[in-house]
Amino acid sequence: MFASFGRISTTSIRIPLPASVGSILNPSAIPSLHLQIRPATKKSSGGTSNGRDSNPKHLGIKKGDGSYVKPSQILVRQRGTRFHPGLNVGVGKDWTLHALAYGRVVIHYDLARRRKIISVDDGSNSLNPVTTRTQSQAKQMLADSIDIPKYMSLDAVGRYKYVLEKESINGSRRSHSTMNYISSHTTN
């Protein structure tokens, strides 16, 4: 009646069908419908293998854009460099960014290096307004400076050089060694 295949167990059921008078005398002649039922094996309640004994890590931005901070205040707790340190910002051994001076937090995007940067503006006008822009502002500024018909007429290498040229015009800080490497390894 019960069969087991490894972890799967099945139940066999015989359901008698209406029989004639002759089949009552001979029980083996009774036609039957043979069904197999497989019970559910899925665990009904959730459950997880982790979460009961691991402590929360409390990662993320601790001081947002425009917040005033004191030296040694934590700005961001992170794993890896999701945010990079800018002016007046230090890095701990666990990639924690902390303020090195009194001032206001500025989160900006460097289009040339494609990085989110956190700086602390101490009021000495040391932050360049060209580099203190958001990611969407930087990309929009680059898109506005590109001449679409000229861009579409270039091949892949030409397009890459054209965009690099426009980035440098818009105030990106790509180093000369990077530009020399790119120009020496690409031909037009």
- This prediction's pTM: 0.48
3-state DSSP call for residue 163? helix
Same domain, 26 and 71: no
How many structural domains compose the chain? 3
Same domain, 81 and 125: yes
Same domain, 22 and 69: no
Same domain, 106 and 153: no
How do the pLDDT tens digits run along the chain, 188 residues long? 555 555 555 666 666 666 555 555 565 665 666 667 777 676 666 666 666 677 889 999 999 989 999 999 999 999 999 999 999 999 999 999 999 999 999 988 887 778 899 999 888 866 665 556 677 777 777 778 788 888 888 888 887 788 778 776 665 444 444 444 445 555 44
Residues contacting 168, CB < 8 A, separation 6+: 112, 174, 179
Residue-range definition of the domain harbouring residue 11 = 2-37
CATH number at residue 125: 2.40.50.100
Is residue 52 in a domain?
Answer: no
Is residue 112 in a domain?
Answer: yes
**pLDDT at res. 142:** 75
**pLDDT at res. 181:** 47
Is residue 51 in a domain?
Answer: no
Q: What is the spatial distance between Cα 13 and Cα 24, in angstroms, rounded to a whole number?
A: 20
